[in-house]
Amino acid sequence: MQQQSKKLDLVGQVCPWPVINTVKELKKLDVGEVLEVTVDHLPSTINIPSAVKKDGHEVLSSEETDEGVFKIFIKNNNN
């Protein structure tokens, strides 16, 4: 089971907002905390990991939890 410290529901959002809002939210977390991001915009499942990794964050998992709905767990490694 994933450690969960904060959930971010971005269902309904399209490019570039899922990435921008995820990056913004990660800045509010302490190092080591995990952000659970929910999206239903497929390109975001590639864009979000790609964007947060460059900031040193760790993508713990990314999976489709419902038809067309994805959850991405990101550990904040960089504040």
Partner 1 sequence: MSILLDSTWLKENLDDSHFVVLDIRSPREYNSAHIPNSRLVPYAKILSFTDSTSYFDLASKEQIEELLSILGINNESTLVICGDRGGATASRLFWSLAYYGLSVQFLDISFSKWMSLGYPVTDKIETIENSNFVITQSQLDFKVDHEYVLSKIKDSNSILVDTRSPEEFNGIVAAGPKSGRIPTSKNFPWEVAVGDDGYIFKNIEHLNSLFEESGITKDKEIICYCQVGERASHTFVALQICGYNNVKIYDRSFADWSTRDNLPIES
Which residue in the list 11, 14, 15, 69 is annotated as catalytic? 15
Q: Does 31 sit near partner 1 (CB under 8 A)?
A: no
Would strands 69-75 and 6-9 be described as parallel, antiparallel, or unpaired?
unpaired
CB 29 within 8 A of CB 6: yes
Shortest separation between residue 6's beta carbon and partner 1, angstroms: 21
CA distance 79 to 69: 28
Q: Does 7 sit near partner 1 (CB under 8 A)?
A: no
Summarize as ranges the residues that interact with partner 1 (CB under 8 A). 12, 14-16, 19-20, 23, 40-43, 46-47, 50-51, 53-54, 66-69
